[in-house]
Amino acid sequence: MESEYSVYRYDKLDSPAVTAGSHAILIGTQDGLFPEMGSALPGEMGGLWAGEKKLCDGFFIAIDDVPLRCCDAFEADPASCSFHYRMQEQGLHVVRRQFVPDGVPGCVVELTCENLTGAPRAVEVSFTVRTEILTVAAARGEDDLELGRDVGEYDERAQAFFARESRNPWHVVWGADADSRALAADLPGEVYGFGNTRGKGVNGRLFYRLRVGAHAQAGMRLFIAGGYAARSQAEDALAALRERAGTLYREKAERVGALMARGRAELPDKRLARCFNWAKVYAEWLTSAVGAAGRLGRALCCDLTENPMLFGPGWAQAVAGLLPIGMSDLAGDVLLTAARLCEREQLPPGRVPLLASPDGRVLDVGTLRESAQFVAAVCETLRYGGDRALAERLLPQTGLCMSALRRATRGFESVPPELLADVCAAVTAQAFILRATGADASEWEAIASRLPEPPEGEPGASLAQTAAWHGRCAHVERLIGCLRRMADAGLPGLPGALRGENDAPDVMLTPLAIAGFVWPLARDLFGLRPDALEKTIDFAPHTPIGWAGWKLTRLPIGGAGFDVTSERVSPSRARYTIRASEPGWRVTLRADGEERTLPIDGELAVELED
């Protein structure tokens, strides 16, 4: 993993820390602890979650009878989190690295002990999991499920603890490598050195011994998995983790590393570059599998850490924010998932989900605004991804959405002012989608010509809205000012962790905040408005006063990769170079009242006034 995508923290370690995957997320703090945090379910949002099911309040480790409490340094990279402990009196340096494998509702904890002395030694490790098996809805009494106490037992044959919720078929398992046999196991009344969290959980503790040579290292892996309906499924999951943990980490690190190399920005303002580049990491954290084993697809969580539910207000706009950071494949998957849920849950024709559970239940149905934004998001995804097959698969749902909008607005003759901008975007988008499938778009083009122009508006109530307005008006310096304020309002200790200024205090990240940052930067600074289906890019870049230039590398558009570079040549002019990895692409420039279309032919350089 590139070093610029690693961060070390030594202070203010009570800030939240997240280790995430498609099927699970581990929430704690940067000191390595799992305090009672959150307000959606007061004090219960920390710990390990598998979809909507919480598995445990956390895990707790002691070395040679010394509890690993506040770490000395926290390290985060896109694939894992690590906690460093200097145990000077014991002559040890301990590192706890944790990651959530792709496709697994659980986590892997890699414990490494370095012997700082000149003599070999044995190190005793105790590993305690404090369960708290529940769902937010059940804990609130919203789904007619009654929660009981957790019960647990140690299985000598499996060398693992198993726990279940006494009134519901939800199972959790934890243990260590197959080669690390437990010396002992017990169910203590309290977590040694930490005390108990609230709730009805059970403590399951395992003891191990590591032999470490002089000035050498030794390690072991610990595992937690759960959310299963049967104990046998939990046992199978543990066996799979024991067999493939190393491979699973390499696969995740390679996949995420390739993602981070795409659409990478280099800017004079390092804060803005980090926000843009790390947005891919946070989009990964916010992505959840939908349905058993992810059979229904993928979607974005409403936020972290407060709401494990999916979609949420403005979700289609959030999906569009994935495109400028090279994640059009994920954007397409989310849109397909929404369409599947519309059919599976038999939503009213032309309506899309507003809120859904990770198991695929639609909890709330969107309004006409969400329907219009869905169609617009499909269009933008096609513009970046160029996938005609996606257009054909989503055309039935976009057609239903447009029919619903037509009925509600009397054939688009009486569009409410508050919906006009979304409806205009949807009508134009539907014409584009039809053209992408080879169908006749003339009806929607005619409707678009009859609709009144949406008012240009004014700076919005939020920083993201104000940034977008300045971008549309080519106020590039004011746009940069808004983006800097958004960057400064992020989460301490996690570079570029974007959240809305009106988000609740316990919210770390929201997909809409990511979109509100990356979209104006890509559209109004880098100046990219692509049409991957036609292999064209409307190119209207800017270079802010005082910047010597900027660079965007390996941005995927359609099947090609693009590099775009800005170099200041005078106080009012910059040279822009755009490179494409495949032939046949053209660029449309608008400057000095003229419009020019030029072939890239591998590389195109132009000078423009700002």
Alpha-helix runs per DSSP H in 196-287: 231-261, 270-286
Q: Please tell me the predicted confidence (pLDDT) of residue 491.
A: 65
Q: Please tell me the predicted confidence (pLDDT) of residue 457.
A: 66
* Tens digits of residue pLDDT in 120-178: 999 999 999 999 999 988 888 887 888 999 999 999 999 999 999 999 999 999 999 99
Q: Please tell me the predicted confidence (pLDDT) of residue 1.
A: 41
> 58: alpha, beta or left, given left = phi > 0 and alpha = psi -120 to 50?
left
Binning the chain into helix, strand and coil, the percentages to the nearest 5 are 30, 35, 35
Q: Which of 117, 123, 124, 74 is nearest to 95 (CA)?
A: 74
Alpha-helix runs per DSSP H in 103-146: 136-140
Cα–Cα distances (Å) from 82 to 136, 245, 260, 282, 483, in that order, read 28, 16, 19, 17, 30
Q: What is the rounded distance in angstroms from the CA atom of residue 429 to the CA atom of residue 304?
A: 31
Say if CB 200 and CB 147 are below 8 A apart.
yes
Q: So what's the architecture of 263-472 in CATH?
A: Alpha/alpha barrel (1.50)
- The β-bridge partners of 28 are 17
Cα–Cα distances (Å) from 441 to 90, 111, 384, 467, in that order, read 74, 60, 20, 33
Angle at 321 between CA 136 and CA 386, to 5 degrees: 120
What lies within 8 Å, CB to CB, of 42 at 6+ separation is none
- The series of mean pLDDT values per 10 residues for the chain, 610 residues long, is 72 89 92 89 89 94 96 93 96 98 95 97 97 90 88 97 96 96 96 92 97 97 96 96 96 92 94 91 90 91 82 94 95 98 96 94 96 98 97 98 97 95 97 97 96 79 88 93 87 69 77 91 95 96 96 96 96 95 94 85 90
CA-only gyration radius of the chain, Å: 26
> 294: alpha, beta or left, given left = phi > 0 and alpha = psi -120 to 50?
left
pTM of the entire predicted model: 0.92
The β-bridge relationship of strands 7-9 and 73-77 is: antiparallel
Q: Please tell me the predicted confidence (pLDDT) of residue 455.
A: 78
Q: So what's the architecture of 7-256 in CATH?
A: Distorted Sandwich (2.70)
Q: What is the rounded distance in angstroms from the CA atom of residue 529 to the CA atom of residue 513?
A: 21
**CATH 1.50.10.10 domain residues, the chain:** 263-472
* Tens digits of residue pLDDT in 276-321: 998 998 899 899 999 987 899 999 998 887 777 899 999 999 999 9
Q: Which of 483, 579, 489 is nearest to 525 (CA)?
A: 483
Q: Please tell me the predicted confidence (pLDDT) of residue 534.
A: 96
Instruction: Output DSSP code: residue 294.
Output: G
Could you give the 3-state DSSP secondary structure of residue 588?
A: strand
Tokens 């599976």 belong to 344
What lies within 8 Å, CB to CB, of 426 at 6+ separation is 371, 372, 373, 375, 376, 401, 402, 405
Q: What is the rounded distance in angstroms from the CA atom of residue 223 to the CA atom of residue 129?
A: 10
586-591 sheet: strands from edge to edge: 528-531, 536-539, 586-591, 594-599
> Half-sphere exposure (CA, 13 Å, Cβ side) for 29?
18
Q: What is the rounded distance in angstroms from the CA atom of residue 160 to the CA atom of residue 180?
A: 11
Q: Please tell me the predicted confidence (pLDDT) of residue 463.
A: 86
- CATH class for the domain made up of 526-610: mainly beta
